Amino acid sequence: MDVELLSRIQFGLTAGFHFIYPPLTIGLGVLIAIIEFMYLKTNDEIYRKMADFWAKLFAINFVIGVATGIVMEFEFGTNWSNYARFVGDIFGSPLAAEGVFAFFLESTFLGLYLVGKNRLSRFMRFFSFLMVAFGSTLSALWILIANSWQQTPAGYKVEGGRAVLTNFWAAVFNPTMPSMYLHTVDASFITGAMFMAGVSAYFLIKGKNLELAKRSLKLAVVFGVIVSILQLFPFGDESARVVAKTQPEKLASFEGLFKTQSKAPLLVFGVPDPSQNKMLVEVSIPGALSYLADHNVNAVVKGIDAFPKDDLPPMTLTFYSFHLMVALGTLFILTFLVGIYLLYKKKIYTTKPFLTVLWAFIPLPYIANELGWITTEVGRQPWAVYGLLRTKDAFSPLPAGDVWFSLIGFTLVYAVLFGVFLYLTIHTVKSFKMD
């Protein structure tokens, strides 16, 4: 195995593992802030106990997420030195801002909340977790500014073999950033909603902590149906249109569109065969992809045939990761709509098959997040920075044995960290008893 592939596998492992944790931090943080607001408003002790319980789970997730995120920043220098040299002038500002403005805000108020929660006034409890939630979404903003710049570079000039920042705000508000940020943050909200709904369903199935479980499940289902529908429209819709305009070969790959055409069909189900440039099985909606890309059913959408072979991303991985993500997103909407119906019928707390589904579905938003990340990052290939720096020119010229050593080391350490995360989370849920 060559050094480029090993370095890609290692970065995929470390980034993918880290990406397990931030979505729950963002989503659960907002839900806890809402619970604290209800405590501030009503002075009902149940809301205080709810916030304390969910904050314990938040803290476990936050700590593991921070530990796994540190590795990646060092990895840019060790395994991707050519990439770091090229983008260093651009990435320095958003990554520094993430640390100074977002992470310190989030971690300071989280520490204040966890250590002083029994001494803080109701307002300060609410304000502290509001700042935690704001800090986590602000952190995502700066990280996604850096990531989106890789998709659609702006506000720069290439000088001496490196990208030099010429317009900070053009780089920040590059064409991909707004849609990528909203799409990712909303996916995080769905993750938080499903996590809270699933754990609450577990309590109801077991017949324990019932008042906490009922209020938490109601909040999670109402929040979940709103954010899951928003993910379809407008956020998912806008993301597709931005990709169609800025990275058409990515759209062609994840939609499995082999030929450039007007009235391009939107694939509902299909099995692509890249070797023959055709779909073996296809169920599609005529004109729907053209409408999705340009809000015009007659619009021409570029297919695989419009691009040099060397500029195309790997189709199979991009195609399946995108379509599985969309299928899961649809499943989340249906699940939360059923929850709203049962809530309206006042049967949600006693319908055990539905509660079991919620409990079993906890991992699915995590899988959807990873699939979305694969679609975005693999779909950008063969570019490390779209149109400017190819991935084959971005990695460090290290001995393959060194990369193998660190890859095996990270795999073992992350396996231990994931085991610790699961143990602490499950133990906290199973051992919790509301006074």
* Per-residue pLDDT, 51: 97
CA 16 to each of CA 8, 171, 195, 206, 283: distance values in angstroms, whole numbers, following the listed order: 12, 25, 19, 33, 31
* Per-residue pLDDT, 34: 98
* Per-residue pLDDT, 101: 87
pLDDT at 70 over 90: no
Mean local confidence (pLDDT), 353-373: 98
Helices (H), 300-399: 315-344, 352-360, 363-380
Distance of CA 14 to the CA centre of its chain: 15
The CB density around residue 288, as the number of other CB atoms within 10 Å, is: 16
Mean local confidence (pLDDT), 214-231: 98
DSSP summary character for residue 271: E
Could you tell me the pLDDT band of residue 107, with boundaries at 50, 70 and 90? Answer: very high
- Over the chain, what is the mean pLDDT? 95
Given a contact cutoff of 8 angstroms between Cβ atoms, the answer to whether 27 and 415 are in contact is no
CA 329 to each of CA 103, 120, 326, 362: distance values in angstroms, whole numbers, following the listed order: 29, 39, 5, 13
pLDDT at 435 over 90: no
Q: Helix (H, G, I), strand (E, B), or coil: what is residue 117? A: coil
Percent of the chain with pLDDT over 70: 100
Mean local confidence (pLDDT), 6-34: 97
Give per-residue pLDDT as tens, 266-300.
999 999 999 999 999 899 999 999 999 999 999 99
Boundaries of every domain in the chain: 3-260+302-431
The CB density around residue 249, as the number of other CB atoms within 10 Å, is: 23
Q: CA 28, CA 146: separation in Å to the nearest integer?
A: 24
* Per-residue pLDDT, 118: 87
Which residues are registered as beta bridge partners of 156?
165
Least confident window among 39-48, 68-77, 119-128, 235-244: 68-77
Mean local confidence (pLDDT), 402-408: 95
Which residues are registered as beta bridge partners of 284?
267
* Per-residue pLDDT, 93: 85
Q: CA 188, CA 234: separation in Å to the nearest integer?
A: 16
End-to-end, the C-alpha distance of the chain in Å comes to 57
Nearest to 83 by CA among 402, 393, 374, 381: 393
Q: HSE (CB half, 13 Å, CA atoms) of 349?
A: 16
Mean local confidence (pLDDT), 83-95: 91
pLDDT at 56 over 80: yes
Given a contact cutoff of 8 angstroms between Cβ atoms, the answer to whether 333 and 224 are in contact is no
pTM for the model stands at 0.96
Place of tokens 């944790």: 21
Least confident window among 270-274, 343-347, 349-353, 369-373: 270-274
Round the CA-based radius of gyration of the chain to a whole number and report it: 23
The CB density around residue 422, as the number of other CB atoms within 10 Å, is: 11
Could you tell me the pLDDT band of residue 100, with boundaries at 50, 70 and 90? Answer: confident
CA 164 to each of CA 102, 153, 160, 190: distance values in angstroms, whole numbers, following the listed order: 25, 11, 9, 37
Residues 6+ away with beta carbon under 8 Å from 302:
248, 249, 251, 252, 257, 260
* Per-residue pLDDT, 312: 96
